[in-house]
Amino acid sequence: MTLTIEPEAELVRRAARRDGAAVAALLAGLRPGLVRYCRARLGRIGGAYTTADDVAQEICLAVLRALPGYQDQGRPFSAFVYAIAAHKVADAHRAAMRAATVTADDAPPEHPDADPGPEQRAVATDLARRLSVLLDRLPEMQREIVLLRVAVGLSADEVGTIVGMTAAAVRMAQSRALARLRTLAGDTFGEVAA
């Protein structure tokens, strides 16, 4: 028996008609890329990806709500999805700015924590911070292209559709962005810790 892969357009049409199997298959295909996208855009807050994962879930719910009204306009469905994702990430950034207060835990945990220790979390958080600083130094379009191509894993054609560029222009912008990041990384990661 051979397994056939259903074309995305047909899967989207079935999901828009609320076919449960199609909705599940569509979300199963979308969620991993959305999680990577949100983690790359939002980073770690308090050493964890909780907020990014929550935003990815909100994006999935927003896609489900918008699905019945979705109309194929000749663009990949991913352009529709990542437009929603960009808005949800911007909302999360605004919410984080408003809620930038420090809160203490009410009670110490009753059981030992199996997660990485403070040193490992500090190193990972510092690395994530440095990478975020590097990405923030890129122009917005280059940053978006790098995130969609590297973190999410979309093709140059898909990213081109999302950002309104040709695939060749996306590859050129990505190449320039990565070259810029290499230069910036040499400056940032070459520093000696005091």
What is the share, in percent, of the chain residues with pLDDT greater than 70? 81
pLDDT tier at 191 (50, 70, 90 boundaries)?
Answer: low
Q: What is the CA radius of gyration of the chain?
A: 19
The candidate with the shortest Cα–Cα distance to 80, out of 9, 139, 147, 162, is 162
Alpha helices for the chain (secondary structure H): 8-16, 20-42, 50-66, 77-98, 118-136, 140-146, 156-163, 167-189
Q: Is the confidence at residue 166, as pLDDT, over 60?
A: yes
Task: Say which CATH topology domain 8-98+119-189 has.
Answer: Arc Repressor Mutant, subunit A (1.10.10)
Q: How far apart are CA 154 and CA 143, in angstroms?
A: 14
> Tens of pLDDT along 112-146?
767 776 777 777 777 777 778 888 888 999 999 99
Q: Residue 33: how many CB atoms within 10 A of its CB?
A: 19
The two three-digit tokens of residue 60, written as one number = 């999935």
pLDDT tier at 99 (50, 70, 90 boundaries)?
Answer: low
Q: Domains of the chain: which residue ranges?
A: 8-98+119-189
pLDDT tier at 5 (50, 70, 90 boundaries)?
Answer: low
More confident residue, 1 or 8: 8
Average pLDDT over the chain reads 81
